[in-house]
């Protein structure tokens, strides 16, 4: 079977890595990796390929930047030409970024089957571009690989046949365990983030990039003000997404001194930081799940989450952009009064193997 594995943005790279590694173990799959170029900075893209131990993309489209429509359209046009030439039997898309949407539409219209990894997640918030990407991709996919129970419920409600929907666990968590075991065998001085850890015995990590948090001046100012308050009690380190950096500069917002800004970090550097942090303050989707997997407290600066298991079973809490809610929960964490959580079912490091078995099943 000929498969095209699609990645475009930072959170995709760690999801395709375990799938590629699992495909490598069988000789029944002939696969190619296609990078859409949605993310293009060295530290948003190339660094991950080096570190995750996957081969360089077979195809690299230059579709980064621009508006949503421009980006999506560029990916579609270029991907169509590749499909025309290569004719894969199956296109595997992951997550919920514009590349996921663009490539699934192109494949489906060419009568190529589409498998969606991380299917069925819903925030029910249509102001999020990712929610639209998730809904459209799931509406046309042929095979659905689901990370948590609620995803199964959502897809059933949307009328998907049981035979197409598979609860397999989470490839991102497969990758987390894989990288963690590698990290534990390496001397800590390998990582430049170790220096920060040596200087700060207790610290929190911050990531912020959602348009709803960072694109509006007043909202971003309020969020940074909350983080600045926290940093008076707990030093924070903030690897900053290009979108967020640009907006801080445009709006002239300066985070407090105890918030250390860094360029975006590689997967291993960032893991080295957050796994030993007191709390993660984030609006990322993946980090909510990864902190749950390792039992690190997480406060999510969003009003909703498409990954509810991280709240019901894990260590995550939603705080929105309310400073009060953030501070109350932060104090609880500082007082050691936080839920320990449990690891969700099938987050066991074997999701990619299950996916491979299902793809190969007659």
Binding region for ligand UD1 (CB under 6 A) out of 33-41, 143-151, 271-279, 348-356 = 33-41
Dihedrals φ, ψ of 227, to 5°? -65, -35
Number of residues in contact with ligand UD1, rule: CB under 6 A? 21
In the complex, least distance from residue 95 CB atom to ligand UD1, rounded to whole angstroms: 7
**Contact between 97 and ligand UD1 (CB under 6 A)?**
yes
Nearer to ligand UD1, 235 or 239 (CB): 239
**Contact between 35 and ligand UD1 (CB under 6 A)?**
no
**Is 349 within 8 Å of 177 (Cβ atoms)?**
yes
Chain residues 231-270 in contact with ligand UD1, contact rule CB under 6 A: 241-243
In the complex, least distance from residue 72 CB atom to ligand UD1, rounded to whole angstroms: 9
**Contact between 105 and ligand UD1 (CB under 6 A)?**
no
Q: Given the DSSP bridges, would you call strands 236-239 and 204-207 parallel, antiparallel or unpaired?
A: parallel
Catalytic residues: 209
Nearer to ligand UD1, 213 or 231 (CB): 213
In the complex, least distance from residue 34 CB atom to ligand UD1, rounded to whole angstroms: 16
**Is 34 within 8 Å of 59 (Cβ atoms)?**
yes
In the complex, least distance from residue 291 CB atom to ligand UD1, rounded to whole angstroms: 16
**Contact between 346 and ligand UD1 (CB under 6 A)?**
no
**Contact between 9 and ligand UD1 (CB under 6 A)?**
yes
In the complex, least distance from residue 142 CB atom to ligand UD1, rounded to whole angstroms: 22
- Site for ligand UD1 (CB under 6 A): which residue of 48, 94, 117, 130? 130
Q: What is the largest CA-CA distance in the chain?
A: 59
- Site for ligand UD1 (CB under 6 A): which residue of 22, 36, 98, 123? 98
Is the C-alpha dihedral spanning 216, 222, 228, 230 positive or negative? negative
Binding region for ligand UD1 (CB under 6 A) out of 5-13, 47-55, 80-88, 219-227 = 5-13
Distances (CA, A) of 358 to 156, 254, 282: 19, 50, 34
**Contact between 116 and ligand UD1 (CB under 6 A)?**
no
**Contact between 131 and ligand UD1 (CB under 6 A)?**
no
Distances (CA, A) of 226 to 196, 301, 304: 22, 11, 19
Distance CA 34, CA 104 (A): 13
**Is 250 within 8 Å of 219 (Cβ atoms)?**
no
Look up residue 42 and give its DSSP letter.
T
**Contact between 10 and ligand UD1 (CB under 6 A)?**
yes
Chain residues 284-303 in contact with ligand UD1, contact rule CB under 6 A: none
**Contact between 122 and ligand UD1 (CB under 6 A)?**
no
Angle formed at CA 99 by CA 352 and CA 42, multiple of 5 degrees: 85
Distance CA 4, CA 350 (A): 21
Binding region for ligand UD1 (CB under 6 A) out of 38-46, 53-61, 289-297, 330-338 = 38-46
- Where are the strands (E) in 15-69, listed by range? 30-35, 59-60
Element (H, E) at 244: helix 242-251
- Site for ligand UD1 (CB under 6 A): which residue of 15, 21, 39, 160? 39
| Number of neighbouring beta carbons within 10 Å of residue 68 | 12
Q: x/- site string to ligand UD1, residues 197 to 216, per CB under 6 A?
A: ------------x-------
224: exposed, middle or buried (Cβ count in 10 Å: 0-12, 13-18, 19+): buried
**Is 2 within 8 Å of 40 (Cβ atoms)?**
no
In the complex, least distance from residue 245 CB atom to ligand UD1, rounded to whole angstroms: 9
Nearer to ligand UD1, 41 or 331 (CB): 41
Query: Which residues in this chain contact ligand UD1 in the complex, by CB under 6 A?
Result: 9-11, 38-41, 44-45, 64-65, 71, 96-98, 129-130, 209, 241-243
């Amino acid at each position: 079977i000929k498969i095209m594995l699609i990645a475009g943005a930072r959170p995709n790279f760690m999801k395709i890595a375990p799938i590629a590694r699992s495909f490598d173990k069988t000789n029944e799959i002939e696969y190619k990796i296609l990078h859409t170029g949605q993310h293009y900075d060295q530290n948003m893209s190339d660094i991950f390929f080096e570190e995750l131990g996957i081969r360089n993309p077979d195809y690299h489209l230059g579709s980064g930047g621009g508006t949503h429509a421009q980006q999506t359209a560029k990916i579609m046009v270029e991907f169509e030409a590749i499909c025309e030439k290569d004719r894969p039997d199956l296109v595997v898309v992951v997550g919920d970024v514009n590349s996921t949407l663009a490539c699934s539409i192109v494949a489906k219209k060419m009568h190529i089957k589409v498998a969606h990894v991380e299917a069925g997640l819903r925030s029910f918030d249509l102001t999020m571009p990712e929610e639209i990407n998730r809904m459209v991709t799931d509406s046309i996919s042929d095979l659905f690989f689901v990370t948590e129970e609620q995803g199964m419920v959502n897809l059933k409600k949307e009328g998907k046949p049981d035979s197409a929907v598979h609860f397999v666990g989470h490839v991102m968590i497969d990758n987390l365990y894989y990288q963690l075991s590698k990290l534990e065998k390496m001397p800590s001085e390998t990582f430049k983030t170790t220096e920060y850890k040596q200087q700060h015995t207790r610290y929190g990590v911050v990531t912020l990039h959602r348009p709803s948090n960072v694109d509006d001046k007043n909202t971003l100012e309020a969020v940074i003000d909350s983080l600045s308050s926290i940093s008076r009690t707990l030093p924070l380190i903030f690897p900053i997404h290009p979108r967020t950096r640009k907006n801080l500069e445009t709006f002239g917002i300066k985070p407090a001194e105890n918030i250390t800004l860094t360029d975006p970090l590689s997967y291993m550097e960032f893991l080295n930081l957050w796994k030993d942090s007191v709390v993660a303050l984030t609006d990322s989707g993946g980090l909510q799940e990864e902190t749950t997997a390792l039992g690190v407290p997480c406060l999510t600066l969003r009003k909703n989450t498409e990954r509810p298991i991280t709240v019901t079973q894990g260590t995550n809490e939603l705080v929105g952009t309310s400073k009060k809610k953030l501070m109350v929960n932060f104090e609880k964490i500082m007082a050691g009064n936080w839920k320990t959580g449990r690891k969700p079912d099938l987050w066991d490091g074997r999701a990619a193997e299950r996916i491979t078995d299902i793809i190969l099943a007659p």
